[in-house]
Amino acid sequence: MRTTVVIAGLALSLAACTTTPVLQPVLHATPDAKATLAVRNPRTMIVASATAMLGQPYRYGGAAPGGFDCSGLVVYATNHAGIHLPRTALQQLRAGATIPRTELQAGDLVFMHLARKELHVGIAIDADRFVHAPATGRYVRIDSLNAPPYVHGFLTALRIVDDATAAAAPVEPAASAIQSPLTALPAK
């Protein structure tokens, strides 16, 4: 009797698995749906491409997944937004319009002089945070411009995205991926 009950229970469990309907996402199309997908905000694309590389190791001369140096991360992220910048931080320093730090927006470049680096570059996420490939033995990460050593080493910021173009493009939901960078960092 007990064996019969166990077999009946198992049969019901398995039957439930095979008869459960597969849920499909329902997409509600709007007249602007195609236009929204076709036009992307370059600022969002730069930040999303850079933050997608969180946890990648620093590698001198690196500009692709598997290893980045600071300017290589910038080239990689901006290329994904259709913006082509020179390869080195010094060349990138001459590539945009200088802006005050108080006007930083997502996708702007931030330059600094650090103890072991003559020139370092990162990508602003907002007025306080930036993503960068810090140094040998470290990983692509997000830091605060208001924390040492970055607050003391800040040199300048550059705008590389045309504000008129960026304002006309809708912001994509992918930007929300930057809110929790610690989950992307490797275990030490």
Catalytic center residues: 70, 120, 132
Closest by Cα among 109, 110, 106, 114 to 177 = 106
* Collapsed DSSP state (helix, strand, coil) of residue 9: helix
Closest by Cα among 77, 174, 93 to 132 = 77
* Contact between residue 64 and residue 76 where contact means Cβ atoms under 8 Å apart: yes
DSSP 19-41: HSPPP-PPP---TTHHHHHH---
* Contact between residue 118 and residue 74 where contact means Cβ atoms under 8 Å apart: no
CA angle, 120 as apex, 118 and 122 as ends, to 5°? 175
Closest by Cα among 139, 123, 129, 127 to 57 = 139
Report the distance separating Cα 52 and Cα 174, nearest Å: 10
